[in-house]
Amino acid sequence: MEKKVVLITGASSGIGYQTAELLAQKGYKVYGAARRTEKLSELKEFEVETVYLNITKEESLKAVVDHVMDKEKRIDILINNAGYGSLGAVEDVTVAEAKNQFEVNLFGLARLTQLVLPHMRAQKRGQIINMSSMGGRLTTYFGAWYHATKYALEAFSDALRMEVKSFGIDVILIEPGVIKTDWGIIAADHLAESAKGGSYEQIASQKAQGIKKQYTSNWGSSPSTVAKTILKSVNRRKPKARYLVGFGARELVFFKTLLPTRLFDIIIKNVS
């Protein structure tokens, strides 16, 4: 059998890197895309093809899809993994920063999906795996804009799943909990910086330290846990529509559905 061709974004670190490595080791033909191409170099030893991608630039998105299609003539699996978290009070985060987060976490992902879909329809098969978060099912303190992007991604993915089913294409959501990557450190730094000199500075600084503690402690799950879940989903003939994976994901989503909203607010606000 020919190797299935995978295009994965955000492959330079964390979940994306681990997933690209694992799928390549399991016999998939993997194209790992990211802006920081210098951080992709180590993937070459696993025979991952590395490509530059700026998820917010139309010409970059088109170039990546054209490159893979020119070399492989098909794309079997698209893993939309690129994204970031910019935390901060609604009052403090600029609208420009909020828009940028939507550009990366939703609109860039959506445009890449649009570019890949005609090829998958022609093949009459394909899988689109969107990296959401347990944060697409619940919200945390100072996370309004980040969670807005992930809630939007959940709705986008559910609608897309219905649209493309008749063409043999499946859409899968991966919803990680606390995963030990740089995501938490970057998000915490955004939170502390956004609050400087404002009404939320003291509490935001405390929460930023708590987030860093969470993401550097033994609580979190390894990115390889998510990579293994993605491998399981692409190997199954009928994968689930959603996979909650990693520390706290199933438990927190369960309690979100079970507890009164204001009680859940109190619990989440006082975590860390």
Check 146, 151, 215, 243 and give the catalytic one: 146
What is the pTM for the complete model shown?
0.95
Tell me whether residue 243 is one of the annotated catalytic residues.
no
What average pLDDT does range 98-111 have in this prediction? 97
Residue 173: strand pairing partners:
130, 242
The model's confidence at residue 34, banded by pLDDT at 50, 70 and 90, is very high
The model's confidence at residue 1, banded by pLDDT at 50, 70 and 90, is low
- Residue 221 per-residue DSSP state: B
The residue assigned the tokens 């003939």 is: 237
- Residue 3 per-residue DSSP state: P
Q: In this structure, which amino acid lies at residue 125?
A: R
- Rounded Cα distance, 211 and 192, in Å: 11
Domain definitions of the chain by residue range: 5-178+221-250
| pLDDT reading at 8 higher than 90 | yes
Higher per-residue confidence, 219 vs 129: 129
| pLDDT reading at 54 higher than 80 | yes
- Rounded Cα distance, 271 and 140, in Å: 9
Tokens of 249: 């994901």
Q: pLDDT tens-digit profile of 259-270?
A: 999 999 999 998
As a whole number of angstroms, the longest Cα–Cα distance in the chain is 61
DSSP helix/strand/coil, 203: helix
Tokens of 134: 């347990």
- Identify the H or E element spanning 31: strand 29-34
The model's confidence at residue 216, banded by pLDDT at 50, 70 and 90, is confident
Report, at the CATH architecture level, how domain 5-178+221-250 is classified.
Answer: 3-Layer(aba) Sandwich (3.40)
Among 11, 2, 75, 15, which Cα is nearest to 48's? 11
Percent of all residues in the chain with a pLDDT value above 70, rounded to a whole number: 99
Tokens of 7: 């295009």
Q: pLDDT tens-digit profile of 181-207?
A: 888 888 999 999 999 999 999 999 999
CA distances from residue 139 to 143, 149, 151, 262 in whole angstroms, order as listed: 7, 11, 9, 12
Q: What is the C-alpha R_g of the chain?
A: 18
- Rounded Cα distance, 23 and 31, in Å: 10
- Rounded Cα distance, 250 and 150, in Å: 17
